[in-house]
């Protein structure tokens, strides 16, 4: 059964005290969760109109609290004891103190969380937080260019069923206080000077660089998707086939990898114009983001799975376009598959290193995506008696045992008749055996 704590509060119904609780969590170092539809006993209470209540909650938080809360909260539905309840996830904000608009920045408008209760802040506490308030946010930094266009961003919103109207720059907080494009707008624009590097090395060090790709000079959303696609290709699937089972596993847990990539980008400190870097080695994939811990954030805060976004405006857009599912969920997904040891946190950088699976223990390799060029043609001899075009097809089968004749044709350019002849040759030589049906089976490599 759920219990209230310094990070969890229950409300049986939506009432006029909601803003006070949200303000307290915004001012809390770890943020918090407010449930609407749970009684003091921890048991759910049925709400007849969840959708309307959720819309009302979002509207009240956006309009009744200052500074801006955009990107700092998420309103979702959670099933508890087979009853749907409303869950408001609130991040710790960087522009403390937050306060109720109608009450102003005063003890009647500012609240904080003490144990399981919400308490008014003293004038001294308010003054101290205001003095420490971080003003150097991307929203207040002027874009290096003002001739920006946002065709890519509009397409990503359209794909999610949203239309950006003429006031989108204001609603997404892409403007400085004096109405000019800010650095958030610059990062999301069709053209900018920001590039994210993905380097690939042949070994375990940086001596032999074999690829050096740059994804950028475009909307940060597009660059992020390109980086994710590149690492998805690199994160090949290892398959171990026994007489009775087929075991498949990626080099790196794909969910954890995706979340770490998005975290590295969306939480990067772009104020110094230093983008994140991704490096692929034979034994690991490493990503480095600039910025270190946020001011006032501890190591425990960082790993607590509470959300404290450095760039809340970016977080809001990433969530809108489906790159972020729920505030605070990314770290929990990473830690579900890996220990905290994969993180290295210094004053200015956060590095995440994913070790790859031991390839020697998984001899058959199936690549989830064939990118049209499987390291070129195979020169020489495979297993002593396969070469030329047959070697090229055999390599494809090794990399993806479930590959179809159509896929082989698309990659190699060979005719269907030629592929059929090569497959027959490989079967006659005992190099491959078909397991299962033509439609759902795969090729076992001998």
Amino acid 439: pLDDT: 67
Kind of pairing between the strands at 195-201 and 99-100: unpaired
- Burial of residue 371 (number of CB atoms within 10 Å: 0-12, 13-18, 19+): exposed
Q: Do domains 8-133 and 195-355 have the same CATH topology?
A: no
Instruction: Tell whether the torsion through CA atoms of 325, 53, 11 and 39 is positive or negative.
Output: negative
232: closest CA among 218, 247, 252? 252
What does R_g of the chain's alpha carbons equal in angstroms?
A: 26
d(CA 86, CA 141): 36
Sequence ranges of the domains in the chain: 8-133, 139-188, 195-355, 370-445
Residues 386 and 427: beta-carbon distance below 8 Å: no
For every residue of 364-411, DSSP letters joined together read EEE-S---S-SSSPPPS-BTTTB-HHHHHHHHHHHH-TT--HHHHHHH
**pLDDT at position 384:** 55
Q: Which residues pair with 433 in a beta bridge?
A: 444
Write the CA distances from 365 to 275, 279, 393, 404, 419, integer angstroms.
33, 22, 14, 16, 21
Domain 8-133, second-level architecture? 2-Layer Sandwich (3.30)
DSSP 31: -
3-state SS assignment for residue 320? helix
Please report the pLDDT score of residue 178 as a whole number: 85
364 neighbors 226 (Cβ within 8 angstroms):
no
CA distance 317 to 322: 9
The CA distance from 238 to 50, in Å, is 44
Is the CATH number of domain 195-355 3.30.565.60? Answer: yes
- Single pTM value for the model: 0.65
Q: Which two tokens stand for residue 310?
A: 């450095």
CB-based contacts of 399, cutoff 8 Å, min separation 6: 236, 365, 366, 367, 370, 374
Tokens, residue 74: 């998420």
Closest by Cα among 360, 445, 358, 443 to 407: 443
Interhelix angle 220-234/254-266, rounded to 10 degrees, is 150
- Which fold is adopted by the domain 370-445? Arc Repressor Mutant, subunit A (1.10.10)
Q: Would you write out the chain's pLDDT as a tens digit for each of its 446 residues?
A: 678 888 999 999 999 999 999 999 999 988 999 999 998 888 999 887 889 999 999 999 989 999 888 888 999 999 999 999 999 999 988 889 999 999 999 999 999 999 989 999 999 999 988 887 766 678 888 899 999 999 999 999 999 999 999 999 999 999 988 899 999 999 999 999 999 999 999 889 999 999 999 998 999 999 999 999 999 988 987 766 655 666 678 889 999 999 999 999 999 999 888 999 999 998 999 999 998 888 777 888 888 766 678 898 999 999 999 998 877 778 889 999 999 999 999 989 999 999 987 544 444 444 444 333 334 333 343 445 677 788 888 888 887 787 888 778 767 778 888 888 888 888 888 888 888 777 667 788 87
pLDDT of residue 71: 80
Place of tokens 């506490």: 125
Find out whether 395 and 403 touch, Cβ atoms under 8 Å. no
CB 224 within 8 A of CB 262: yes
């Amino acid at each position: 059964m759920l219990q209230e704590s310094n990070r969890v509060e229950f409300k049986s119904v939506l009432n006029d005290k909601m803003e006070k609780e949200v303000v307290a969590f915004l001012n809390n170092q770890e943020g918090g969760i407010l449930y609407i539809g749970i009684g003091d006993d921890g048991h759910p209470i049925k709400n007849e109109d969840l959708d309307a209540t959720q819309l009302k909650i979002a509207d009240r938080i956006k309009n009744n609290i200052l500074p801006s809360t955009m990107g700092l909260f998420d309103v979702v539905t959670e099933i508890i004891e087979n009853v749907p309840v409303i869950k408001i996830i609130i991040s710790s904000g960087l522009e403390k103190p937050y306060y109720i608009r109608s009450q102003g920045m005063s003890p009647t408008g500012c609240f904080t969380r003490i144990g399981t209760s919400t308490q008014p802040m003293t004038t001294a506490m308010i003054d101290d937080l205001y003095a420490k308030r971080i003003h150097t946010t991307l929203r207040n930094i002027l874009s290096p260019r003002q001739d920006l266009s946002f065709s890519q961003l509009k397409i990503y919103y359209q794909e999610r069923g949203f239309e950006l109207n003429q006031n989108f720059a204001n609603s997404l907080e892409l403007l400085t206080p004096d109405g000019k494009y800010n650095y958030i707008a610059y990062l999301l624009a069709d053209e900018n000077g920001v590039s994210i590097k993905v380097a690939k090395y042949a070994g375990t060090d940086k001596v032999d660089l074999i690829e050096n790709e740059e994804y950028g000079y475009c909307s940060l959303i597009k660059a992020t998707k390109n980086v994710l696609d590149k690492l998805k290709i690199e994160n090949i699937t290892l398959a171990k086939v026994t007489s009775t089972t087929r075991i498949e596993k990626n080099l790196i847990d794909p969910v954890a990898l995706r979340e770490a990539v998005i975290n590295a980008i969306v939480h990067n400190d772009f104020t110094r114009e230093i983008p994140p870097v991704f490096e692929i080695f034979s034994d690991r994939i490493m990503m480095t983001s600039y910025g270190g811990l946020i001011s006032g954030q501890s190591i425990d805060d960082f790993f607590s799975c509470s959300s404290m976004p450095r760039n809340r405006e970016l977080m809001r857009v990433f969530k809108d376009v489906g790159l972020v599912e729920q505030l605070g969920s990314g770290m929990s997904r990473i830690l579900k598959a890996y220990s905290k040891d994969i993180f290295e946190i210094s004053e200015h950088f956060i590095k995440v290193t994913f070790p790859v699976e031991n390839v020697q223990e998984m001899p058959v390799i199936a690549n989830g995506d064939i990118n049209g060029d499987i390291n070129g043609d195979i020169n020489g001899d495979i297993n002593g008696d396969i070469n030329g075009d047959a070697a090229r097809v055999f390599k494809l089968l090794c990399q993806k045992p479930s590959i179809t004749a159509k896929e082989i044709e698309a990659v190699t350019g060979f005719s269907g008749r030629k592929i059929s002849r090569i497959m027959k040759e490989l079967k006659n030589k005992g190099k491959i055996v078909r397991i299962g049906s033509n439609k759902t089976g795969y090729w076992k490599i001998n």
